[in-house]
């Protein structure tokens, strides 16, 4: 976009950005910014709820005040005939992927970031669909061995759905209109399979596992009936027996779909975190911040679990098509779960395969941000597990998962009696403890977690998050269960 000439006198449309680390809901802060620099309401044309962006009609005096504001970052002329697509690379920033493998990757791995190098990821597509290898996001990746397509019983049909999914995970870095687009783990190797049946799904999983795949994404679901069925049961069994992370969708309508009801899988819901276009809009402005998107399925039955486990952006997900154009018209949980799979792959790289899928799952869930999600239709489930009914633990935050990994203490084992641990910490530290365990076939008693004499029980699913301010420099932690199932316990201390 054309830079503003500082000598320009008059009124014009413009877009400016300011930067405030750690924010996700921007409407209130954007409004405060405009109030502070003296731009009246009638000259405000777009106030974003999703990023630090506004469009306003300003004069030279406004410009001078804006430039002097300590939060000011940049401004440029706004072209009303060719509106800028809204904060094009916003999604990767919102989930922390840009800090892991993008322009801010020097934060991790001595500046190299964690872009999936050495990690094998699987994508299984339903309806016998396959991605377009001609999409610019994926161009040359098959020839270079970065994408491996497994044999299919039937000739697959090229479709946009798997093209977007694969691009989100391993799409190559490509620049369009001065904006970079790339997959979350663009250096990972991706194995792809097209299936048409449950048996095809099982066969594809087993083939991928034999090739060393550690994370599998399945952006499809059936049977939105609230019943834990054979498909869910089989997926749970495969996860327990093979120690891999299975990421799937919660479904787009009504209650959960299968295999999103699989207890040991990660089920992902969809959250609106951006709009389609930054443009001069009709008043009143959209004042809502991040809201649970109604096209996500969630548990509405008396199952012993609450799903989804967490949410990720699933609206206006970009990919670069065959013509080199950025396409944003992609909606649904199908496009939320690949982001989680990508973050999981970065964690496998960071942990060098030292931990089970349970620890990777624990890091993803405990780092999710539930504070940015509106409480409307998302009441907290009573108890100590901090789970929202529709949004799980909150919005995916990959960079926070890596920050936790850097200093956390991790315990893994089997639930075979009582296991006790002594935690050394500073008085006043906040202990954040994530407990994830496998659920066997059939019913079993929930494990009991005891922290400094206080009992905590997993609430309605096989995970438990405890946040407690320490009143001693030595805390005692124990887990009591005889189920024989594996578990992971991640302990993270915050000095506050």
For 29-56, write each residue's pLDDT tens digit: 788 888 988 888 888 877 777 777 777 8
Q: How far is CA 207 from the centre of its chain?
A: 26
Claim to verify: residue 238 and residue 291 sit in the same structural domain:
yes
Per-residue confidence (pLDDT) for residue 59, from 0 to 100: 81
Claim to verify: residue 70 and residue 107 sit in the same structural domain:
no
For tokens 């599998």, name the residue: 216
Query: Is residue 443, in this structure, part of any structural domain at all?
Result: yes
Strand pairing class (266-272; 310-313): parallel
Per-residue confidence (pLDDT) for residue 227, from 0 to 100: 80
Structural domain harbouring 22: 12-77
Per-residue confidence (pLDDT) for residue 374, from 0 to 100: 57
Name beta bridge partners: 414.
486
Closest by CA to 169, choosing from 339, 310, 314, is 339
Last residue of one domain, picked from the residues 381, 406, 431: 406
- Tell me the pLDDT tens digit for each residue of 209-259: 999 999 999 999 888 776 888 999 999 999 999 999 999 999 887 778 899
Claim to verify: residue 103 and residue 187 sit in the same structural domain:
yes
461 within 8 A of 267, measured Cβ to Cβ: no
CA distance 294 to 333: 11
- Tell me the pLDDT tens digit for each residue of 160-208: 999 999 999 999 999 887 778 899 999 999 999 999 999 999 999 999 9
What is the crossing angle of helices 60-68 and 27-37, to 10°? 120
Query: Is residue 56, in this structure, part of any structural domain at all?
Result: yes
229 within 8 A of 304, measured Cβ to Cβ: no
43 burial via Cβ count (<10 Å: 0-12, 13-18, 19+): middle
Per-residue confidence (pLDDT) for residue 46, from 0 to 100: 76
Query: Is residue 4, in this structure, part of any structural domain at all?
Result: no
Claim to verify: residue 400 and residue 490 sit in the same structural domain:
no
Q: How confident is the model at residue 89 (pLDDT cuts 50, 70, 90)?
A: low
CA distance 191 to 214: 11
Per-residue confidence (pLDDT) for residue 275, from 0 to 100: 62
Claim to verify: residue 370 and residue 282 sit in the same structural domain:
yes
| pTM over 0.75, yes/no | yes
CA distance 382 to 186: 40
Claim to verify: residue 16 and residue 120 sit in the same structural domain:
no
Phi/psi for 74 (5° steps) reads: -165, 155
Q: What is the CATH number of the domain that holds 466?
A: 2.60.120.380
Q: How confident is the model at residue 285 (pLDDT cuts 50, 70, 90)?
A: very low
CA distance 237 to 220: 19
Respond yes or no on whether the N-terminal peptide bond of residue 308 is cis (omega within 30° of 0). yes
Per-residue confidence (pLDDT) for residue 137, from 0 to 100: 95
Claim to verify: residue 33 and residue 107 sit in the same structural domain:
no
Per-residue confidence (pLDDT) for residue 144, from 0 to 100: 92
Phi/psi class of residue 394: alpha, beta or left (left: φ > 0; alpha: ψ in -120 to 50)?
A: left
Query: Is residue 3, in this structure, part of any structural domain at all?
Result: no
Query: Is residue 461, in this structure, part of any structural domain at all?
Result: yes
Q: What is the signed CA dihedral for 231, 233, 234, 237, rounded to 10 degrees?
A: 160
Query: Is residue 258, in this structure, part of any structural domain at all?
Result: yes
Closest by CA to 174, choosing from 325, 277, 345, is 325
Claim to verify: residue 63 and residue 112 sit in the same structural domain:
no
Q: Both ends of the chain: CA-CA distance in Å?
A: 43
Query: Is residue 6, in this structure, part of any structural domain at all?
Result: no
Name beta bridge partners: 17.
53, 74
Number of separate domains in the chain:
3
- The DSSP 8-state label assigned to residue 150 in this structure reads P
DSSP string spanning 124-178?
A: EESTTEE--TTSTTTTTTTTTTSEEEPP-SS--EE-HHHHHHHHHHHPPPEEETT
Claim to verify: residue 402 and residue 414 sit in the same structural domain:
no
- The DSSP 8-state label assigned to residue 52 in this structure reads S
Query: Is residue 278, in this structure, part of any structural domain at all?
Result: yes
Phi/psi for 101 (5° steps) reads: -135, 10
Claim to verify: residue 400 and residue 423 sit in the same structural domain:
no
Q: What is the CATH number of the domain that holds 22?
A: 3.30.70.80
Claim to verify: residue 68 and residue 102 sit in the same structural domain:
no
Q: What is the CATH number of the domain that holds 281?
A: 3.40.50.200
Q: What count of other Cβ atoms lies within 10 Å of the Cβ of residue 178?
A: 7
Claim to verify: residue 376 and residue 413 sit in the same structural domain:
no
């Amino acid at each position: 976009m054309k830079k503003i000439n500082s000598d320009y006198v008059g009124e014009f449309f413009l877009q400016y950005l300011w930067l405030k680390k750690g924010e996700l809901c921007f409407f209130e802060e954007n409004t405060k910014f405009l109030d502070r620099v003296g731009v009246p309401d009638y000259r405000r044309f777009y106030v974003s709820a999703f990023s630090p962006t506004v469009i306003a009609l300003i004069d030279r005096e406004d410009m001078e005040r804006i430039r002097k504001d300590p939060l000011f970052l940049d401004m440029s002329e706004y072209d009303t005939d060719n509106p800028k697509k809204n904060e094009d690379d916003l999604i990767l920033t919102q989930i922390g992927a840009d800090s892991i493998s993008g322009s801010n990757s020097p934060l991790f791995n001595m500046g190299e970031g964690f872009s999936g190098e050495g990690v094998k990821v699987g994508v299984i597509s339903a309806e016998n669909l396959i991605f377009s290898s001609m999409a610019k996001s994926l161009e040359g990746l098959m020839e270079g061995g970065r994408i491996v397509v497994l044999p299919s019983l039937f000739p697959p049909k090229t479709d946009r759905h798997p093209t977007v999914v694969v691009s989100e995970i391993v799409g190559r870095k490509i620049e369009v209109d001065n904006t970079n687009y790339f997959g979350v783990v663009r250096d990972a190797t991706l194995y792809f399979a097209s299936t048409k049946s449950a048996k095809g799904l099982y066969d594809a999983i087993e083939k991928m596992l034999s090739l060393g795949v550690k994370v599998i994404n399945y952006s499809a679901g059936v049977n939105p009936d609230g019943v834990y069925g054979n498909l869910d049961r089989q997926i749970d069994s495969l996860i327990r027996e093979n120690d891999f992370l299975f990421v799937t969708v919660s479904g787009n309508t009504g209650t959960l779909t299968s295999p999103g009801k699989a207890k040991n899988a990660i089920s992902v819901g969809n959250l609106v975190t951006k709009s389609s276009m930054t443009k001069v809009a009709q008043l009143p402005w959209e004042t809502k911040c991040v809201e649970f998107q109604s096209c996500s399925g969630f548990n509405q039955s008396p199952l012993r679990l609450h799903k989804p486990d967490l949410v990720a952006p699933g609206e206006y997900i970009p990919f670069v098509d065959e013509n080199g154009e950025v396409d944003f018209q992609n909606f649904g949980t199908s496009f939320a779960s690949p982001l989680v799979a990508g973050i999981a792959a970065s964690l496998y790289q960071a942990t060098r395969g030292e931990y089970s899928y349970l620890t990777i799952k624990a890091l993803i869930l405990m780092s999710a941000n539930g504070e940015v999600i509106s409480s409307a239709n998302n009441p907290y489930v009573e108890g100590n597990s901090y789970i929202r009914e529709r949004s799980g633990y909150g919005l995916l935050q990959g960079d926070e998962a890596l920050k936790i990994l850097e200093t956390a203490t991790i315990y893994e084992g089997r639930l075979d009696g009582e296991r006790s641990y002594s935690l050394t910490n500073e008085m006043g530290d906040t202990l954040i403890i994530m407990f994830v365990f496998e659920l066997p076939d059939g019913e079993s008693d929930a494990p009991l977690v005891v922290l400094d004499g206080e009992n905590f029980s997993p609430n309605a699913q096989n995970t438990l998050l405890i946040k407690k301010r320490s009143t001693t420099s030595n805390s005692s932690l124990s887990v009591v269960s005889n189920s024989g199932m594996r578990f992971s316990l991640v302990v993270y201390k915050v000095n506050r």
